[in-house]
Structure formats: structure tokens, C-alpha cells
Amino acid sequence: MKNKLKFNIYIIFLATLFLSLSTTVFALEVPVNENIPILIDELPLKFDVPPLLKEGRTLVPFRAIAEGLHIDVSWDNATQTVQGKTATTNLLLQIGNHTAFLNGQALKLDVPPEICNGRTLIPLRFFSETLGYQVEWLGNERIIKISSPPGKMLVTGFYALGSSETSSWKNLFNKDFPEAEEGNTKLVKKVALGWYSLAENGNLLTRSNTGWQRPGGWEIVLETTRQYHVQTEMVVHMTDKGGSLHKLISDPAATATAINQISEEATLYQGVNLDLEGLGWQEQGETLNNTRQNFSRFVSLLYQKLQEKRVTLTLTLHAPNSAYLGYDYQSLSNNCDEIIIMAYDYGPKPEPINLVSGAVQEALKTVPPEKLLLGISIPSETTESLTQKIGIAKRYQLKGIALWRLGLVTTDMWELLGTKILPSSL
């Protein structure tokens, strides 16, 4: 239903665009056959036929752009037609024909589609900025940029102790604690509260030696987030420093203690966010397999316990292309409600889009997109690079994004998020 709705929105958008062609002036002076890069949401779009200039209009590969926007496209060689359709909607264009058809309704085009090197090209002004898309021709850079309209996705914000300058509370509610207003809760619909850790013996801690602790006044945070219809997760964070996490997940008694204490505390929240980091470092072979199996077993047992209490489970995991390979995404996907991919800490800043995209692509091999959120490290990004990361979540139709962390999101970033995202609740 979700994909069908998105497709129908795009079809209506294109139909409106067709109808406006006679009055919209949008000609890009792009040289014929020059290999001009096309970016959608600052992300490169791969295509093997360059743009073509015809009658003052720039023609671009339809399939590449349609697939970048998740519109299914088919080609009929016998009738020389290209179409996108669902069970209820059918958009049809024919090579050389100034008339297109939407569910049988004729729509006039001033420049018809044509074939170049086996690819169907359509006028770029289909994506006119007056109809929801912003299209720019940057002559000095020789680039065409397409910015998509806001997409519906979940935004999770990690809430952690900061300082007076980096307060998660103020960044979310726009007021000093304990005062509050709607603020950025219109975008952030889930907060992951970084208040807990684990001891090696499985005991749940509200104060750890890594800085994760439950603050005074935490009850007010829970009450206020619920007042503004924001869901809450208790984050349980632990690293494998000194092998402590390995010891916990391999010890049945410690595992049982952790699961029981987490599940009891979880009744205060709507969900648990398990952030157990550092597994699999420099491991391989049977050692790595044992680590993965132990962690997956721990997660499975915890998930069963939380389901009894009707509490959700989110896993915050190292990216599958990171140095920490102790996480079996396929197995874990069957025992959680969401997975946040920590696609960051690769080294360069901003985080390289090829590595972030690669992490998502690898995760999607075994995890459905509706379970995945792209983790974004705000200290690693600029406002412009944040556009790219949101674009990756859109391109792969992920459930949403998770921001590390509240308190560090700048005013410009909030404004950007507001133009790129339509909030989605669970």
C-alpha cells in the first residue's frame, strides 16, 4: 500500500506537469551530448546516455530518473512505448508522439520523447520546481540538480546528557528545562533515551563509566515527550572494552540477568534500543561465528521477553561494511522491530556517500527496508551533506533516519529536515 500510494503521488505529479507544459517556461541550455552529471538530492544518478538538447528543451533518460524516484518502468518495443503503472494507474508515452496518456486521458507535450542509444529520453522540465521538484542547471559546474519534495519517514533522535550549549531537551523543545513547547517534536517522533548501561554480570546500570546515565528529572522527560506524542525508547549501551560484552553474551547467567532487568525497566517506555558496540573486531572464522551466534541468541531471548510486555525492540548496529563484523543482520532482523545502521565513523568527514550507500545496500540484502533507519552522526555532517544522507534514506525507501544526537542539530539542519521530511509516526 505504501509503495502504491507513493507511485500514485508521482503519477499525479507528472500528470499535472504534463498539463502545465504549455505555460511553463523551463529551458536549460545544456550542450548536446555533453556528459552532464544529474544529481537527485545531491546524490549522483547513474545513466549511460547523456542529456540531449532539442528545440530548446533538455531531454534526459526517463528510466534512470524514474527508478531514482521509485517509479516502475516498462518498455514495449513493438509499439515504441514506455510506461509506468500500478493496478490502478497507467502512464504511457510513445516515442515521437506529442501526446501522452494517463489512464487513457490524452495530455499534450511540446517536445516528444525520443530514443538515443537505446534509451528513452524525456524533457527535463517534467520535474519543474513549480510542481514540487526544484531543478537547477549549474552552468559553471556543468551539473543538473533535482531536489525531491518532502518524503514521509520516521525521525528518531538520540537523547543524551550534554551541556548547557548542547542540551538535548532544549534542542527538542526549544525551551530551557523543564519548560517546553512543540519545537522540533513536529519532526522527531521517537526519542532514544541514552540513560542505561550494563555491567559484565548483566546488571542494568543507570550510571556507567562511559558517560551514559539517567539524569535527575528523567520522569519529566518521559511525561513531556508523551504530551507531545513522541514515543520513547530506553537505550541500553555497552562497549566491548576489556572483552566485557563478549563475557556477558557468552554467560547464560549474565544474559538472563540482563534480559530480566531490561524487560522490567522497559515497562516505563514504548521500546528498548539495544546499542551494544564493538563485537567482531579483528575476528574471523569460528571465533567470529561464535560471537555472532551469542549476540543473536541474546537478542532473540530479549525480543521474546519484550513481546510478552508489548514493548518494541530496536537494534543500533555497526554498519555491515564497518570493522565490527560481529552482527548477523539476517538473524537479527528476525528478532527486532527496527535496525538503526550506524553508517558513520569511517574516518573522513562528512561521511563518504559511497560507504554510507554501501552500508545500506549490504543491509538490504537481508533486511526489509521498512525495518531500517539510517543512523546519521550530526558532528560528522554539514547541512549540505545532511541532504545527501536523507537522500540515501529516500532512494532506498528506508523507514527513516536516526540522528546522533539531539543537542547538536543546528538551526540550519532543522530547517533542512523540515523541507525534506514529512514526519511519520509508528
Predicted local confidence at residue 375, as pLDDT: 98
Domain extent at residue 135 = 2-147
Element (H, E) at 102: strand 99-102
Tell me, yes or no, whether 83 and 230 share the same domain: no
Residue after which a domain boundary falls, among 118, 147, 176? 147
Q: How many domains does the chain have?
A: 2
> Quick one: 125 and 34 in the same domain?
yes
Cα atoms in the 13 Å half-sphere on the side-chain side of 135 = 21
Q: What angle do CA 33, 128, 155 make, to 5 degrees?
A: 110
Q: What is the pLDDT of residue 253?
A: 98
Q: Domain ends where: 88, 122, 147?
A: 147
Buried b (16+ CB within 10 A) or exposed e, 278-311: bbbeebeeeebeebbebbbbbbebbbebbeeeeb
Domain boundary among 147, 179, 195: 147
Q: Are residues 122 and 166 in the same domain?
A: no
Q: Are 293 and 165 members of one domain?
A: yes
Q: Specify whether 73 is located in the same domain as 160.
A: no
| 3-class DSSP string for 192-250 | EEEEEEECCCCCEECECCCCCECCCCHHHHHHHHHHCCCEEEEEEEEECHHHHHHHHHH
Cβ burial 388-397 (10 Å sphere, 16+ → b, else e):
bbbbbbbbbb
Clarify whether residues 306 and 398 are in a common domain. Answer: yes
Residue 401 has, within 13 A of its CA and on its CB side, a CA count of 29
Are 202 and 127 contained in the same domain? no
Q: What is the pLDDT of residue 57?
A: 73
Each residue's pLDDT tens digit, 135-156 = 787 878 888 888 878 889 999 9
Say yes or no: 143 and 201 in one domain.
no
- Would you state the pLDDT for residue 50? 77
Residues 199 and 301 reside in one and the same domain: yes
Rounded Cα gap, residues 58 and 122, in angstroms: 8
Residues 47 and 111 in one domain: yes
| Mean pLDDT split into 10-residue runs, the chain, 426 residues | 47 41 36 70 82 76 73 83 67 85 78 85 58 72 83 95 91 97 97 97 92 93 97 97 97 98 98 98 97 98 98 98 98 98 97 97 98 98 96 94 98 96 79
Whole-number Å distance between alpha carbons of 206 and 198: 9
Do residues 266 and 327 share a domain? Answer: yes
Give me the CATH number covering residue 41. 3.30.457.10
Q: Are residues 324 and 269 in the same domain?
A: yes
Q: What is the pLDDT of residue 341?
A: 98
Whichever domain contains 204, its CATH number is: 3.20.20.80
